[in-house]
Amino acid sequence: MKKQEKIFVIGHKNPDTDSICSAIAYCDIKNRTTQDSKYIAKRAGQINEETEYVLNRFGVQPPGYLSNIGTQVKDMDIRLSPEANKSMSLKNAWDLMQENSIVSLPIREKDGTLEGLITIGDIAKTYMDTTDSYLLSRARTQYQRIAETIGGKVVEGNGHGYFVQGKIMVATANPDKMKEYVEENDMIIMGNREEDHLQAIEQNVSCIIVGLGIEVTEKVLKLAHEKDIIIISSPYDTFTISRLINQSIPVKYIMKTENLVTFNTEDFTDDIQDVMIKHRHRAFPVIDKKGKCIGTISRRNFLDMHRKKVVLVDHNEKDQAVDNIDKAEIMEIIDHHKLGTLQTMQPISFRNQPVGCTGTIMYQMYGEQKLEIPPKIAGLLCAAIISDTLMFRSPTCTLQDKMAAGALALIADISIEEFAREMFKAGSNLKDKSPEEIFYQDYKKFIAEGDVCFGVGQISSMDADELKEIKERLLPFMVSECGRHGVSRVYFMLTNIMEQSTELLFYGEGSEEMAVNAFKMQPENGTIYLKGVVSRKKQLIPPLMEAAQMSGSDYV
């Protein structure tokens, strides 16, 4: 069965009820109408109390947190590595690398964790260093590995034992001459003469290797058995045996185990490029979230990275989108705001309607797809509409929003007024929150022509006394926030739902003048009271944008 492609559905930073609930609903729509892809709801920030109340009320889990949509190591074509352990011979490792067309071979423990790394270059260097006669014993090479490497078999002795002392010699001289250079525990490559074999046994060598498939005599086998001497028979000639035998040493003897440069599947590719350039290895091991080594990547993998696919809901501004949105492939946008600054590489489906809530568009989509709306989803979408339209009091609210909310309330079996009161009460319970948490709970950044960058936060409440308390806590915080993240002017809307009004706080050079020019009102006690203004999107941002773009003004 073909693996489904993942597509993330995500709202804006500092998510509100609409962006969270619409993401969940759209995943339900798409997963019920498509089979090739799996749509997964995500969030680009912390959920506020209002949204948390709504999700708990209808028993729905919040979407997972996704702070960065950039490409990660797991989005690359990771080269899966064959099973390889430290006891295998260099020849086994070489054969594995040739079969799999790889230049680096991760060596793993039984549990899959990375123990070391061996490369083609490491093997070649060992192969070229033919002057070390003690290499096999220093590497503690198993006799069975030696036999396998030279295509032979152990005909006498314990093949599972290890060659741990002595050098390797080719015995070509007569027996008398052998006494001068063969020492105890040496490994001797010999021909077919029995007298040579007997002399080697007499000198207590550890292993005798005979080539050309020669069978040693029973006498030799018996004496070798008595002295625990290994005898290996190989079909190769003496020259070939000598050439191959160094390849029998275990991988653990030459593999790198320290200062290994590895990457995690969760690492972002932007963060690893400089490391790759600095070290310039042919391949780098990749470790998954469980600590297992799953394969390798190389610089070439940057050419065929799979960008994450994403659907954006309730926004189309780059500054409001999840970090690194330009590194992702935007598949669709579903929104109800003005056109923003996002750009795509190719044409996409962009649904933008002048309604008060993205949840209303979702309700329409269910109807277009002839899908029954689950009661839980209906409750979420109804909550989104109530929240975004301030229970139909916002000027952004349309007849479509009211009709959708009414139909959804019936499916969810809720009373709109009663539910709205509970929801807003939960959302405005800010006593235990810090000024920073309150300020950024529902905050958006905007850029006008002339590079005027300003931020606007908003809190809506039915309690005038609570708004007064929030004001006293926020004013000092706004002073410290101005100038951060490139924002030169900050505004905050204290919106009274019942009175349908907003007290506008402001700070930063030019912020007061911009607000005065936008609303043609003078501040009182350092704030501007805006009667009938409850919508940031429709009533506050357009006049502020127009004021910021005025040419020849003193404050721009």
**Model pLDDT for residues 418-450, shown as the tens digit of each residue:** 999 899 888 776 767 888 888 888 888 888 876
Q: Which of 427, 444, 460 is the last residue of a domain?
A: 427
Inter-residue contact 223 to 199 (CB < 8 Å) = no
7-39 pLDDT tens trace = 999 999 989 999 999 999 999 999 999 999 999
- Exposed/middle/buried for 552, CB within 10 Å: 0-12, 13-18, 19+? exposed
Q: Which of 229, 248, 267 is the last residue of a domain?
A: 248
Percent of the chain whose pLDDT exceeds 90: 71
Q: What is the pLDDT of residue 129?
A: 67
- Same domain flag for 418 and 329: yes
Q: Which residues of 174-210 are buried (b: 16+ CB within 10 A; e: fewer)?
A: ebeebeeebeeebbbbbeeeeebbbbbbebebbbbbb
Higher-scoring residue by pLDDT: 211, 172: 211
367-394 pLDDT tens trace = 999 999 999 999 999 999 999 998 998 8
- Same domain flag for 454 and 499: yes
- Same domain flag for 492 and 408: no
Pairing of strands 284-287, 263-264: parallel
380 backbone φψ class: left, alpha, beta (φ>0; ψ -120 to 50) = alpha
- Same domain flag for 416 and 313: yes
Least confident of 167-176, 214-223, 261-270: 167-176
Considering the domain boundaries, does residue 135 fall inside one? no
CATH code where residue 461 lies: 3.10.310.20
CATH code where residue 106 lies: 3.10.580.10
Dist. CA 15–CA 51, nearest whole Å:
9
- Same domain flag for 155 and 111: no
H or E segment to which residue 75 belongs: none
Find where tokens 């309330």 sit. 409
- Same domain flag for 415 and 350: yes
- The two tokens of residue 154 are 């152990």
Integer CA distances (angstroms), 330 to 56, 304, 316, 333, 349, in order: 30, 18, 11, 8, 9
Summarize the confidence of residues 142-166 as an average pLDDT. 95
- Same domain flag for 231 and 272: no
Considering the domain boundaries, does residue 556 fall inside one? no
pLDDT band of residue 537 (cuts 50, 70, 90) is confident
- Same domain flag for 343 and 401: yes
Considering the domain boundaries, does residue 27 fall inside one? yes
DSSP string, 288-342: -TTS-EEEEE-GGGGGG--PPEEEEES---GGGSPBTGGGSEEEEEEE-S---S-
Q: What is the pLDDT of residue 551?
A: 39
Q: What is the pLDDT of residue 31?
A: 97
- Same domain flag for 64 and 92: no
Pairing of strands 329-335, 309-313: parallel
278-331 pLDDT tens trace = 888 889 999 999 999 999 999 888 877 889 999 999 999 998 999 999 999 999
- Same domain flag for 232 and 264: no
Least confident of 386-400, 448-462, 508-522: 448-462
Inter-residue contact 320 to 444 (CB < 8 Å) = yes
Domain span at residue 321?
A: 5-70+308-427
- Same domain flag for 544 and 446: yes
Q: Which of 248, 271, 289 is the last residue of a domain?
A: 248
Instruction: Provide the sign of the torsion angle of the four alpha carbons 26, 27, 32, 36, taken in this order.
Output: positive
Look at residues 390, 250, 295 and name the one whose alpha carbon lies nearest to residue 100. 295
Q: What is the pLDDT of residue 488?
A: 85
Q: What is the pLDDT of residue 302?
A: 82
Instruction: Provide the sign of the torsion angle of the four alpha carbons 270, 273, 278, 284, taken in this order.
Output: positive
Summarize the confidence of residues 398-409 as an average pLDDT. 98
Q: What is the pLDDT of residue 130?
A: 64
Higher-scoring residue by pLDDT: 127, 65: 65
Helix (H, G, I), strand (E, B) or coil at 45: coil
Q: What is the pLDDT of residue 1?
A: 56
pLDDT band of residue 176 (cuts 50, 70, 90) is confident
- The two tokens of residue 250 are 């275990």
pLDDT band of residue 553 (cuts 50, 70, 90) is very low
Summarize the confidence of residues 512-519 as an average pLDDT. 94
pLDDT band of residue 556 (cuts 50, 70, 90) is very low
Considering the domain boundaries, does residue 96 fall inside one? yes
89-122 pLDDT tens trace = 999 999 999 999 999 999 999 999 999 999 998 8
Range from 143-147, 336-340, 422-426, 456-460 that averages highest in pLDDT: 143-147
Q: What is the pLDDT of residue 554?
A: 44
Find where tokens 């991988």 sit. 251
Domain count along the chain = 4
- Same domain flag for 314 and 398: yes
Q: What is the pLDDT of residue 216?
A: 94
CATH code where residue 158 lies: 3.40.1390.20
